[in-house]
């Protein structure tokens, strides 16, 4: 029985990027080759983001054939690239099993930001978000997250002649519900053996799952945390974000205090102001009170309408009211204009429409 099991594992082609460097070394040694070969292949797989074994030109043909017989590289495919009039690029990314996610390159004066997905679809059901309409199908693997960043890094260089500077986990899905893979992908993205990007240029955005924020704080993160707050009164927040029923603001606040105590890193709140939802001075006061709990800043983000028009962005005067109150009380607040709206690439618009 055991012999059969071993044989099956031996013959199945594994995704080579599931192997750690040590495991790859062991594989080569077992095949009578040098451990050093693993290092070369590993470099192709991660640093050079090779899509096929044939790209590995410093590896002998014989070794490449041996690798092909044993492994596959499940590299993502960027099938469709749409460009916005503002320069934003939206990628439709096909995964090895045919599922599709989206990732976005956002160029700005001083930065180029990659906005990447962490899950296929999303399970959170935020009422204002287009991705919420897609059923959550599965988590992305470490290499699928990594590949999105590598692809955008290349696009930044090719189309803009500039390096990728920032990464935000603000695409499809909830990073905290694919925690292990997101953390491992960040590890690879920041590693000199990977893309060698700076951790402090990475922001993970969450709907606000208290126990995961605490867990993350314990894992000594060096990246930034953003929380999609949108309302600082439980009743309002629950009415637009079902997650608030099981993760009320008190628990979120406690988790964020824990986060700050451990990391000494400011929290960014993402907040959209909608007509008739959270557009009164009481709502703004509640946000101020919440924002004062831990050192934080607030991004008032522009609403990107999704199809049925149930939600409408509040008037500018209301945004000014928020801005004045927060700034007067020492909370750094920015109004964030959307990018890539014409191609449905803006926050909350990712829904695999193209």
Work out whether 303 is an interface residue with ligand SAH (CB under 6 A): yes
- Contact 257/293 with Cβ under 8 angstroms? yes
Per CB under 6 A, 212 contacts ligand SAH: no
Residue whose tokens read 């790209």:
55
- Kindly tell me which of 49 and 117 has the beta carbon lying closer to ligand SAH: 117
| CA–CA distance, 333 with 77 (Å, rounded to integer) | 38
Q: How many residues bind ligand SAH (CB under 6 A)?
A: 17
Angle at alpha carbon of residue 90, lines to 88 and 96, rounded to 5°:
155
| List 103, 206, 263, 268, residue binding ligand SAH (CB under 6 A) | 206
Q: Which stretch binds ligand SAH (CB under 6 A): 2-10, 49-57, 121-129, 259-267?
A: 121-129
- Rounded distance, CA 329 to CA 331, Å? 6
Sign of CA dihedral 8, 11, 12, 14: positive
88 binds ligand SAH (CB under 6 A): no
- Nearest CA to 198 out of 225, 245, 247, 165 is that of 165
Q: State yes or no: residue 102 binds ligand SAH (CB under 6 A).
A: no
- The stretch among 7-15, 42-50, 139-147, 199-207 that binds ligand SAH (CB under 6 A) is 199-207
197 contacts ligand SAH (rule: CB under 6 A):
no
Single out the residue of 45, 140, 170, 195 in contact with ligand SAH (rule: CB under 6 A).
Answer: 170
| C-alpha distances in Å from residue 195, one per residue of 43, 163, 261, 307 | 11, 11, 30, 37
User: Looking at beta carbons only, is 172 or 321 nearer to ligand SAH?
Assistant: 172
Contacts of 206 (CB under 8 A, 6+ apart): 174, 175, 176, 212, 213, 225, 226, 227, 228
Shortest distance, position 204 Cβ to ligand SAH, whole Å? 8
Compute how many other C-beta atoms are within 10 angstroms of the C-beta atom of residue 198. Answer: 13
Nearer to ligand SAH among residue 27 and residue 259 (C-beta): 259
Calpha distance 263→276 (Å, rounded): 36
Q: Look at residue 141 and give its three-state secondary structure.
A: coil
In the complex, least distance from residue 349 CB atom to ligand SAH, rounded to whole angstroms: 6
Question: Across the strands, what pairs with 225?
Answer: 204, 267
Q: Measured from the CB atom, is 64 or 111 closer to ligand SAH?
A: 111
Complex with ligand SAH: residue 84 or 205, whichever CB lies closer? 205
- Residue 206 Cβ vs ligand SAH, minimum distance, rounded to whole Å: 5
Over its C-alpha atoms, the chain yields an Rg (Å, rounded) of 22
CA nearest 157: which of 192, 188, 114, 200?
114
Interface residue with ligand SAH, options 100, 306, 314, 326 (CB under 6 A): 306
- Using the contact rule CB under 6 A, the part of the chain among 1-9, 42-50, 91-99, 203-211 near ligand SAH is 203-211
**344 binds ligand SAH, rule: CB under 6 A:** no
Q: Which tokens go with 231?
A: 């309302």
What is the closest distance, in whole angstroms, from the C-beta atom of residue 316 to ligand SAH in the complex? 16
- Please list the active-site residues: 102, 347
Point out which residues bind ligand SAH (CB under 6 A). 126, 128-129, 170, 174, 205-207, 228, 270, 272, 301, 303-304, 306, 347-348
């Amino acid at each position: 029985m055991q012999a059969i099991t071993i044989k099956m594992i031996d013959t199945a082609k594994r995704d080579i990027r599931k192997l750690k460097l040590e495991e790859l070394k062991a594989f080569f040694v077992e095949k009578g080759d040098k451990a050093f070969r693993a290092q070369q292949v590993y470099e192709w797989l991660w640093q050079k983001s090779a899509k096929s074994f044939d790209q590995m030109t410093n590896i002998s043909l014989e070794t490449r054939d041996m690798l092909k017989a044993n492994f596959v590289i499940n590299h993502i495919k960027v099938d469709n690239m749409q460009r916005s009039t503002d320069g934003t690029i939206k990628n439709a990314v096909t995964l090895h099993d045919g599922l599709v996610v989206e990732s976005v390159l956002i160029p700005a004066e001083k930065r180029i930001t990659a906005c990447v997905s962490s899950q296929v679809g999303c399970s959170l059901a935020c009422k204002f978000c287009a991705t919420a309409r897609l059923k959550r199908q599965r988590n992305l693997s470490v290499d699928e997250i990594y590949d999105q960043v590598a692809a955008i890094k290349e696009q930044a260089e090719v189309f803009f002649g500039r390096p990728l500077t920032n990464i935000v986990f603000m695409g499809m899905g909830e990073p905290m519900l694919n925690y292990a893979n997101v953390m491992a992908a960040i590890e690879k993205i920041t590693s000199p053996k990977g893309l060698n990007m700076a951790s402090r240029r990475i922001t993970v955005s969450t709907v606000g799952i208290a126990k995961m924020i605490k867990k993350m704080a314990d894992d000594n993160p060096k990246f930034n945390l953003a929380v999609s707050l949108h309302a600082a009164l439980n009743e309002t927040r629950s009415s637009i974000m079902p997650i608030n029923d099981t993760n009320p603001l008190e628990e979120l606040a406690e988790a964020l205090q824990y986060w700050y105590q451990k990391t000494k890193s400011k929290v960014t709140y993402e907040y959209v102001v909608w007509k008739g939802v959270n557009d009164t001075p009481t709502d703004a006061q509640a946000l101020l009170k919440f924002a004062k709990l831990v050192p934080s800043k607030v991004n008032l983000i522009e609403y990107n309408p999704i199809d049925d028009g149930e939600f409408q962005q509040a008037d500018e005067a209301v945004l000014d009211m928020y801005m004045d109150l927060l700034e007067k009380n020492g909370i750094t607040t920015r109004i964030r204009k959307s990018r890539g709206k014409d191609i449905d690439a803006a926050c909350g618009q990712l829904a695999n429409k193209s």
